[in-house]
Amino acid sequence: MIELNTFSIAARCDRTGMLGVAVSTAVPAVGAICPFVKAGVGAIATQSWVNPYLGIDGLKLLEDGKSAQETLDLLIDGDAGRDDRQLGIVDAKGRAAAYTGASCVDWAGHEIGEGFSVQGNMLVGAATVAQMAGAAEASRTLDLPERLMLVMEAGQAAGGDKRGKQSAALKIFNIEEYPWLDLRVDEHRNPVAELRRILGVARHQLLPFVNGMPSRENQLGGLPSDVTDMLMTPPRFRPGGNGGS
């Protein structure tokens, strides 16, 4: 069991229905064990002394028709380690719920709003979560990747994890069963800033490809010729190129 002293947001876009989680912590590879998202179902961030089954089982409960709060109550009631857990949930209707266990390392807390939950533990102070909630409210008109990124930047600017910085992740589902966007910074001195850079590259090079991938309705997909031409060139020559070979 790994202690994820972390700050994160789980959110739903009320314009597109996209669901996603963004998270950062001072442990490697947070994207592998904290965010759980399913298209048309919900988004869950599980952290502190992390129990991934809260994310796995939580998505099943949401898919069965439970609300975010009903799902949270069932998960916490059934978890013997509840005092050490922190959890944020948003369901497919945008209802949010969050929980911070009594034994989570200070500073620890959460805020929920319409379509989002922000939470953190072992933070430098309450300002991290407060600034994240403010950024979530102020960015409602933006697309979900940008909104989640701005929230994470606000949390980092307010102090973030008091031990320092190491990894960050951004996971978003649209209408397919596979992720629309799944970006990870597994070990970096400034993971949120690096995640921002990678998002910029992904907007030019990844998302046009994902948008043309096969779907349940269209097994062939539909990649425009300009996208296939772009992907046939070396990375350094593509839009948003980062100097790769």
Give exposure, 198-237, as e/b (b: 16+ Cβ within 10 Å). Answer: bbebbbebbebebebeeeeeeeeeebeeebeebeeeeeee
Which of 9, 10, 3 minimizes the C-alpha distance to 156? 9
The pLDDT of residue 2 is above 50? no
What pLDDT shows up at residue 4?
A: 47
Arithmetic mean of pLDDT, 51-66? 98
Tokens 């399913």 belong to residue:
38
Token readout for 16 is 């597109």
Q: Give the torsion sign (CA, 1, 185, 72, 106).
A: positive
pLDDT for res 124: 84
The pLDDT value given to residue 226: 83
Q: Is the pLDDT of residue 149 over 70?
A: yes
Question: How wide is the angle at C-alpha 178 spanned by C-alphas 173 and 180, nearest 5°?
Answer: 45
Residue 1 scores a pLDDT above 50: no
Residue 241 reports pLDDT greater than 80: no
- For residue 238, the model assigns a pLDDT of 87
pLDDT digits (tens, 9 = 90+) for 124-148: 889 999 999 999 999 999 999 999 9
Please answer whether residues 205 and 240 qualify as being in contact, where contact means their C-beta atoms are separated by less than 8 angstroms.
yes
**CA distances, 69 to each of 90, 91, 99, 142, 227 (Å):** 9, 9, 10, 26, 42
Model confidence pLDDT, tens digit, residues 150-191: 999 999 998 765 566 899 999 999 999 999 999 999 999 999
Structure token digits, residue 67:
């609300």
Query: What span, in angstroms and rounded, lies between the C-alpha atoms of 74 and 53?
Result: 12
How confident is the model at residue 228, as a pLDDT? 82
What does the pLDDT read at residue 18?
98
d(CA 181, CA 184): 10
pLDDT level of residue 5 (50, 70, 90 thresholds)? low
- For the chain, strand residue ranges (E) read 3-4, 6-12, 19-25, 35-38, 42-49, 85-91, 96-100, 109-113, 116-120, 167-173, 181-185
Q: What is the DSSP letter of 174?
A: -
Give the phi and the psi of residue 113 in degrees, each rounded to 5.
Answer: -145, -175
Region label for 17, one of left (φ > 0), alpha (ψ between -120 and 50) or beta (otherwise): left
pLDDT for the residue numbered 3: 44
pTM, to two decimals: 0.93
Domain ranges of the chain: 3-201
The pLDDT of residue 75 is above 90: yes
Type of residue found at 155? G
CATH superfamily of 3-201: Aminohydrolase, N-terminal nucleophile (Ntn) domain (3.60.20.10)
Residue type, 243: G
Could you report the per-residue pLDDT of 204-223, keeping only the tens digit for each?
999 999 999 999 999 988 88
CA distance 18 to 144: 7
